[in-house]
Amino acid sequence: MQLRSTLFRVLAAATLVPTLALAAPKTAPAQAGARPSKQYTVEQFMATTRLAGASFSPDEKRILFSSNESGIFNAYTLPLSGGKAKALTQSKTDSTFSVGFFPKDERILFTRDQGGNEHTHLYVRTPDGKERDLTPGEKLKAFFAAWSEDDSAFYVLTNERDARFFDLYRYDAKTYARTLVYQNDQGFNFADVSPNGKWLAFDKPRTNYDTDIHLYNVETKEMKHITPHEGDVDFSASTFDPGSTALYFLTDQGSEFKRVARYELATGKVEDVERADWDVMYTYFSRKGGYRVTALNEDGRTVIRVHDVKAGKPLALPQLPAGDITSVRISDSDKRMAFYHNGDRSPSNLHVYDFGTKKVSRLTDTMSRDIDAQDLAESEVVRFKSFDGMEIPNILYKPHQATASAKAPAIVWVHGGPGGQTRKGYSPMIQYLVNHGYVVLGINNRGSSGYGKSFFTADDQKHGREPLLDCVEAKKYLASLPYVDAERIGIAGGSYGGYMTLAALAFHPDAFKVGIDVFGVSNWLRTLKSIPPWWESQREALYKEMGDPTKQEQMLRDISPLFHAEKISKPLLVLQGANDPRVIQPESDEIVEAVKKNGVPVEYVIFPDEGHGFTKRKNEVEAYSRMRGFLDTHLKAAGPAPVN
């Protein structure tokens, strides 16, 4: 389990082990103008169901997962033989996410916060439908960590003792009585516990690109630093092997990209295990140890490799339609594999692969029944040279109706982070805007992850300047496309992308016609001082990325749009969750108040039951509808806002 994150994220060709890359063949983008494209309402787009997670029942006849079928996330089960999903939780107010079945019975674990405040608690549900909070208390945050090797206990992280740090507890699977395994007083980030329970792996970040691994011996209570090094190197613990003999970890030591390496617990010997020409995102073993799964971040796509450990050869799997394989989960018996498959024009659907029969079963159909996928847009990876020659990767969506004779308005969409990434895959919000005639360019400005550590670190202490200039250059790139109206280009983004939107309007007031800020930072001094207490272990890294609010006050004032709001002269839409603990509501309140003084059209929508990100369908419908209405009025200039 990884708790490391950049500011707003929750939130790597030679291989030394034989592998099979589980990835569908790439296809060319759909040709714009090749066929008439029907337009759909926001309600039709949001009728698409979102899914997350997968856990096999003890008898491996059902799958537990999370779904927003009811309009809010709850836990569901579905037979592997197919059929209708059954809701196990019925929350109507707070999003509920399944963790998994107990290994030997029908109880399940799930998490739930309160209106998006991120004070997540861990719950157990018994077969009779009763729910019990295993981590009760006010203003605490808890995570499930792992099961013990014999299934008699499970591990839980909670910051109830000290809001800044997460302690590790062992819970008895029958009585839920718990014992403290490790008290975290030094700001370590828990990564994994060995199957035999004797070792704990922790990460200790110094910056977002310089991290160490520490090993804790539960019996001797000794903590050992196992990655001494010079310079900036990222080491991050991934997983112990099933025999509790080695720790597998990721590192970019001596390389631009992260690879998999192994540390032998008995000898301290380190050796490389797996490399690629892109970053390895994660690697882990199936519980029984027959397989190891690795994910690569390949140019904005996820590519899965499945290693047959015993056979020492690639796992033979069938081809699937174009798209990405994600969230692979292998059953405890090593007989089956659950995974999600998605593409630009197809939302994630749950599948199960039987290793014995070689059969793939698709269990869900999440696309809205009203939508023909052929009416949607296939994205394309494009690159342009920025102001200083640096190559900037992007994900481009072109509407079917956009042509040189019918030029379309366009949006530069900026991802969250800093350090996030715009990736290929289904986005109902982007498809909704593209379906209604907007070209969307999802920029991966310098500082984005997935393109090597030099690119990732190129924005440090430069926010509001060079990364923002990449966005201005993105506007120039869009203007060069024959089907884009160069006079109608806006900028939008969420979280850090919301900051970039505000910064673009304030520091380059003539570059974009409009801006949409979705819970973005307007005042870095306040945000950096008001980070959630459970981010304490990341504080030093965050300050080195953005700036220290005590020591670099003037620099942070210079890059904060709130202190330059008088320069904003273009229409602005702001969306904000009232319970957001990361970018608190005053960040939006004050920028809206300041910009209104300029006589600029400003629209402001607050969602009282959301946090940092919108999880309730009714709020997503409202948010995306307001976005399109705002763009139609102020960018497309097509008349009054639509009603749907």
Residues 495-513 have pLDDT tens digits of 999 999 999 999 999 999 9
In terms of Cα–Cα distance, which of 515, 517, 622, 624 is closest to 575? 517
3-state secondary structure 224-261: EECCCCCCCCEEEEEEECCCCCEEEEEECCCCCCCEEE
Measured CA to CA, the distance from residue 433 to residue 42 in angstroms comes to 9
Measured CA to CA, the distance from residue 211 to residue 234 in angstroms comes to 5
Measured CA to CA, the distance from residue 291 to residue 600 in angstroms comes to 58
Chain segment 326-347, per-residue pLDDT in tens:
999 999 999 999 999 999 999 9
Measured CA to CA, the distance from residue 587 to residue 593 in angstroms comes to 10
Chain segment 444-477, per-residue pLDDT in tens:
999 999 999 999 999 999 999 999 999 999 999 9
Chain segment 565-580, per-residue pLDDT in tens:
999 999 999 999 999 9
| Cβ(179)–Cβ(170) below 8 Å | yes
Chain segment 539-564, per-residue pLDDT in tens:
888 999 999 999 999 999 999 999 99
Measured CA to CA, the distance from residue 315 to residue 306 in angstroms comes to 6
Its pTM stands at 0.91
Chain segment 402-412, per-residue pLDDT in tens:
999 999 999 99
Helix axes 496-507, 466-480, angle to 10 degrees: 80
Compute CA distances 123 → 142, 143, 146, 148, whole Å. 10, 10, 15, 18
Question: 3-state class of 156 per DSSP?
Answer: strand
Q: Tokens 């707003």: give the residue.
A: 8
Domains of the chain: 207-275 (no CATH), 377-636 (3.40.50.1820)
Residue 54's H or E segment, with its range, is strand 51-56
User: Which pLDDT value is given to residue 36?
Assistant: 58
For residue 119, report the phi and psi dihedrals to the nearest 5 degrees: -85, 70
User: Which pLDDT value is given to residue 35?
Assistant: 53
Q: Mean pLDDT check: name the lowest of 97-106, 109-118, 314-323.
A: 314-323
For residue 290, is pLDDT > 90? yes
User: Which pLDDT value is given to residue 103?
Assistant: 96
| Cβ(606)–Cβ(578) below 8 Å | yes
Determine the distance from the C-alpha atom of residue 639 to the mean position of all C-alpha atoms in its chain, rounded to a whole number.
Answer: 36
